[in-house]
Amino acid sequence: MVMPIALFVSLILLVLLPLFAVCDRLVKLEWSTHREIWQQDGRPCGFLFHPPEARSLRSGLAFQRVSFVWLFKTPAWMRQDEKALRVVHRLRLLWLLWNAGVIAFVIAAMLPVR
């Protein structure tokens, strides 16, 4: 049982670390090229990217909101920015991989051991 758990944790890291990096990249893109919209979104910060104008708690909450919204809705500023579109598609793919992995692990954990 230890080996499957170790494998799962390794796979989690292979998906989560790039997922966090992609989220940061989107926030940084919005901050650097669409500052007005970034402010309207509540000045979100990323996991490691913290713009100087970001506010701790408020920016963290804004980040949680926009990162969830971006999974299902493509804002106008992203539709006009090819780079942002590529990054948000990568975000969605990594999020799907993460969720598929968690579901597969839960199903595997529920199977009887022989």
Number of domains in the chain: 1
Residue 6: count other Cβ atoms within 10 Å of its Cβ: 10
| Nearest-angstrom CA–CA distance, 25 and 39 | 16
Task: Give the pLDDT band of residue 102 (cuts 50, 70, 90).
Answer: confident
Residue 107 contacts residue 18 (beta carbons within 8 Å)? no
DSSP for residue 113: P
Pick the closest to residue 67 from 41, 32, 86 (CA basis).
41
- % of the chain surpassing 90 pLDDT: 71
| Per-residue pLDDT, 114 | 67
DSSP for residue 112: P
Which tokens hold the place of 73? Answer: 């809705």
Pick the closest to residue 11 from 108, 85, 82 (CA basis).
108
- Average pLDDT (18-32) is 96
Q: Which domain holds residue 97?
A: 2-110
Query: Which residue type occupies 87?
Result: V
Task: Give the pLDDT band of residue 15 (cuts 50, 70, 90).
Answer: very high
Q: What is the mean pLDDT of the chain?
A: 91
